[in-house]
A and B are shown apart, each in its own frame.
Chain A
Amino acid sequence: MAIIIDENTNVLVMGITGRQASFHTKQMLAYGTKIVAGCTPGKGGQEVEGIPVYNTVREACEKHRIDASVIFVPAAGTKDAALENLEAGIKVVVIVTEGVPVYDEIDIVAYAKRKGAYVLGPNTFGIVSGGKCKMGIPPNQYFVEGDVGVVARSGTLTYEIVGNLTANGLGQSTVVGMGGDRAVGLTFVDVLKMFEKDDQTKAVVMIGEIGGNNEEIAAEYIKEMTKPVVAFIAGKSAPPGKRMGHAGAIIERGKGTYQGKVEALTAAGAKVAPLPFEVPALIKEALGRK
C-alpha cells in the first residue's frame, strides 16, 4: 500500500517554471511520479517538461484530477501558494520552501486542519513511496520499494540513512519528511499511526533531532505500536543554547536534550542507533533478517 501517496497520485507542481522546480520536475518524472499539471501565475499556457502550466490552481483542477501538490515558490509567496492549493480542495500539500515566516506557517497549518488536508513542511525534502511516487527533492537512486517506513524532520540526514538502508537490501514503503521548521503540518505520531496501519510497512525508522518535545510525545505512542521502531537522534554533540541550522535543533532550559529523548524512546521499546550508519543492522535485527 504505502502511505499518503502512491502510483495513482496525480501531482501538481506549484511554481513549476522556476529553476529548482523545473529541475526537480524532471527528476520526479524520471522517478515515475504522475505529474499532470504545473502552476505559475502569469506563465499559463507554457509547458515544462511536457507538463501544461496554468495561471491558477483552480484552473488546473478544472482540467485535471489533482490529488497532491508540491510547492517550490519563494518564501514570501509561500503562504499564498499553500492557501491557494488547500482552498482548491487538494488534500496533500508538500511545501519544499525554506525560510517561511513562522506566523505564515501557523496560518497554513491551521487552514489545512480545517480542510482535512495533510501539509508536509514547510522546509521539507518531500515524500517518497518507494518505486511509486516521489514529491520533492531527494536524489532518486537511493529510494527503492520495500517494507521499511521512514519518518524524519531533516532532509539530507534522511538520504544518508535511506542510502544506508538501500545499500543493505532494505527498501522503503514510504519516506516522509515532516519538515524542519517550528510549525509544520504533521507530527511523528500522525505518521507513526499511518505506518502502524499500513500493510506494506513492517518496521519504522524515526529520524529525530535535539530540541522540542516531539520525540518524547512519539515515545508515548510507540509503547502501543506492534511494529518495531528504530530511531536516530541527531545533535548528541551540540552545545546547549546554540541553534544548529533549523528551528528544531536547539536545546533550551534543559528540555529537548539528546539524553532525554534517547531515554524516552528506549523506555518505549524503540531501539536507538548511536550513529546514522548503524540503523540498518538494528532494522534487520528487529525483523529477524540477516
Chain B
Amino acid sequence: MKMFEYMGKELFAKYGLPVPKGRMAKTPEEAAQIAAEIGGPCVVKSQVLSGKRGKAGGIKFPNTPEEAKKAAEEVLSMTIQGLPVECVLVEEKLKIDKELYMSITIDGSAKQAVMIASAYGGMDIEEQPEEYIIKKHIDPELGMHPFFARDVVRRMGIPLNGPHGKEIVKIVQTLYKICKEKDAELVEINPLVFSGDRVIAADSKVTIDEDAMFRMVDLPFVEDKSPAERAAKDLGLSFVELDGDIAVMANGAGITMGTLDTLQAFGGTPRNFLDCGGGTGREATAKALDILLNLQPKGLFINIFGGITRCDDVANAFKDVYEARGGFPVPVVIRLVGTNQDAGREILRSIGVEAFDFMQDAARRIIELVR
C-alpha cells in the first residue's frame, strides 16, 4: 500500500526525522493560509503516486501567499500521468547545498532488507554509476546498530564528526525502525538535502507490505487500484486489468500467467489477470465471475487445476452465476481438473457444460469461439 509524499512525511515527523515546515492543502485558500504561516518562499507540490511530478509541471515555487494560492489553483486542476491531483503539499522552500539519496527496501535474493544510499541523490539517481551507490544488507538477527549507520556515512564520504554526519547516523537508524515497526517494504528519501547545517528529508516515498495490513491500524493509504481491482482485492483475489477481449480466471499466479501466455501464443488477447487460488470458496468465486462478466468481455476462459482449490466449489460457483443470470451472455470455456474433479464435472454436466482436460485444447477452443 502506497502513501502520498505528505503522508510519508507525517510518518517521518512522528519518528523525529527532519522534514520541511508545511502541510497538505486541498484548496487554494488553504494553500495561501499555509504559505502565510511559513512567511517566505514556498514550494507547492502535487500529491500523486508518480515520480515525474517536477517534469510534468506539478511542482511550483511561489514567493507570497497570493502566488501560493494561484500555484495551488493551477496544480489542483492538473492530471499527471493519468492521475488527477486532489491535494498539494505546501512547505518552506529549502536552500539546497547538496542532494543525497537514502532508502531501505527488501532484497528477495538475499532474503534481507537492504540499505541503499548515495551522496549523489536527486532526480537522476537511477543514472548514477554503480560505484556511487552504496548497498549494505541488514542482518535480521543482528538488527540495526549505530556502527552500521556510521559505516554508511563513511562510505558516502561525509565527515562523521560534522553536523551532517551525526544527523545521518540518526536518520539511517530511524529508517530501519520505521521499516520494522510499520512493515514498510520501501522507505525512500530522495533527495535528502543539506541545507546549511540542517539535513532534511525533502521528499518521501513509503510503501507498506499489503500482507501486514492486519497489524497496521493507524496508517493512511492511497487507493491505487481500479474499482474492479479493488472489488477483487476485497474478496482476497489478485486481479489486474489488461486490454484484450477474453476474460480469464485461473487458480494460482503462475498458472494464471501461463494461461495468459498460452492464449497470447495462440493468437488470443486476455482482458485481465485473475488469480482465484488459495482455497477461494464457492461464494467468492461466484463474485469473481461476476466481476469478470461485468468487464463485458467477448469470452470467458476458466482454467482450474485444483490443489487447495476444490473443483466442486468452482463448479458450484459457476452454476450459481449461470442460474442467477439465466445463462452466460458470452461463450465460456472451462477446463477443470484436480481435487474433487469428478464431483465438479458432475455439477457442470447438470447445466449442460462439459469441462476440458487440457489447457491447450481449452485455450484453442475459447479463441475459436470469440472469433
Contact = CB atoms under 8 A, between A and B. Distances in A.
Contacts of A212: 108-109
B307 A275 contact: no
Contact of A20 (B140, B273, B279): B279
22 contacts: A96-B308, A100-B211, A105-B111, A110-B111, A114-B141, A137-B308, A154-B254, A160-B359, A182-B108, A183-B108, A183-B111, A209-B254, A212-B109, A232-B258, A235-B257, A238-B273, A243-B240, A244-B253, A245-B254, A245-B275, A246-B253, A275-B265
A102 B258 contact: no
A43 B257 CA distance: 40
B183 A156 contact: no
B180 interface: yes
Given A157-B254, A237-B264, A247-B108, A103 B308 contact: no
Interface in A87-104: 96, 98-103
A110 B141 contact: yes
A269 B361 CA distance: 30
B111 to A, nearest CB: 4
The size class of the interface chain A forms with chain B is 35 or more
Interface in B147-186: 179-180, 183, 185
A153 B257 CA distance: 13
Pairs of residues from A and B, 7 with the lowest C-beta to C-beta distance, nearest first = A154-B254, A245-B253, A156-B252, A157-B254, A156-B255, A101-B212, A234-B257
A139 B214 contact: no
Contacts of A217: 109
A107 B212 contact: no
A236 interface: yes
B257 A76 contact: no
Interface in A21-72: 24, 27
Interface of A: 20, 24, 27, 75-76, 96, 98-103, 105-107, 109-111, 114, 125, 137-139, 142, 152-160, 163, 180, 182-184, 187, 207, 209-210, 212-214, 217, 232, 234-239, 242-249, 253, 274-277
Contacts of B214: 75-76
Given A138-B307, A156-B307, A245-B238, A234 B254 contact: yes
A154 B255 contact: yes
B211 A236 contact: no
A156 B261 contact: no
Given A98-B278, A103-B179, A277 B106 contact: no
A158 B308 contact: no
Contact of B183 (A98, A102, A114): A102
Interface string B181-205: 0010100000000000000000000
Given A102-B183, A274-B265, A237 B111 contact: no
Interface in B305-326: 305-309
Contacts of B337: 139, 163
Nearest to A76: B214
B234 to A, nearest CB: 14
Contact of B254 (A27, A105, A107, A180): A180
B133 interface: no
Report which residue of B106, B257, B260 has the largest number of chain A beta carbons within 10 angstroms of its beta carbon: B257
Contacts of B126: 253
B261 A234 contact: yes
Contacts of A75: 211, 214
Contacts of A248: 108, 253
Interface string B207-225: 0010110110000000000
B79 interface: no
Given A102-B183, A103-B179, A139-B307, A277 B359 contact: yes
